[in-house]
Chains A and B, each alone.
Chain A
């Protein structure tokens, strides 16, 4: 059983801390201009963080207890390929999901 005091300490401080992390740059820097080298790095934030966020979930899916899963890998590659070549997010999601369900139906 979790101690109620430490639970609320964590909830409140984690809430404040998370807000602080989300606000640290937009809040403190505001509309002051950023140096060119920093802007150059920030241009790649999305492509540097989001693929790293997804990669372990694709290679070691939690649903299969972290063992490689062919339907999930196929679905990920299909989504990536369709998204890359068509630039159509919805089409990539639909074809990725169809690949996943098709693969799961075929391979169990």
Chain B
């Protein structure tokens, strides 16, 4: 493979982020519509999408405020939905922790499910990338999706009609994520982590504030790490026993 330039890596990020346009556009239009119907003006609606930039948390806060929940409850619930972002931050630290403070802050602001998912796949696959190359890739993905998040929130707020249900775009999110997850399942440890994650998130789906996902995430990470250790022990000792 020819040596990759930082610029070509940026465009690779843009291309890898592009399929998520199918997720971002309907989701942001929907937020604009729902927020407007809840009585928010354009500035307030855009305030959500620009300052928070996290769909599920925005919907949670809006829903609770519309239901007349106390301000603190709405805030805490929506933050709980976003707790997985701290896991993403930890996961990205070994790769971009050496960047400048400003770059890390900018990357943090743009850390969403899609940018994280794309980035972690490519960072693992390209351990030789420099920090500037990693950031280029990350911001390439961000370029493909985040501006559309703002623009189509505005479209939803102004036009006020959602994308027709018949297109079944609700399922764009599961399909794009599953397509990204499947190639990540390289080792028994990765498979075990994913299996535990799915099982736990279904079992604990009844919990409020998306807490089931946190349990699933932590349990999946622990199982993945444990399987890795167990397999290393089995492979490492030179006993000649090839089980």
Contacts and interface: CB of A to CB of B under 8 A. Distances in A.
Main secondary structure of the interface of A (DSSP, over half): helix
Contacts of B178: 54, 58, 76, 79-80, 83, 92, 96
Interface in B215-242: 216-225, 228-229
B179 A14 contact: no
B177 interface: yes
Interface stretch (B143-151, B152-160, B186-194): B186-194
Contact of A52 (B86, B180, B216, B224): B216
Interface residues of B, number: 93
Contact of A49 (B61, B65, B87, B182): B87
Given A40-B225, A57-B174, A89-B179, A63 B78 contact: no
Interface string B175-207: 111111111110001100110111011100100
Interface string B99-123: 0010011011101010011001100
A72 to B, nearest CB: 6
Contact of B120 (A27, A45, A57): A45
Contact of B194 (A22, A26, A51, A72): A51
A2 interface: yes
Interface string A23-48: 11111011110100111111111111
B116 A46 contact: yes
A99 to B, nearest CB: 9
Nearest to A84: B182
24 contacts: A6-B65, A6-B74, A7-B40, A10-B75, A11-B52, A14-B51, A14-B78, A15-B52, A18-B54, A18-B79, A25-B93, A25-B97, A26-B89, A46-B184, A47-B220, A48-B193, A48-B194, A48-B196, A52-B217, A53-B84, A53-B201, A57-B174, A81-B182, A93-B176
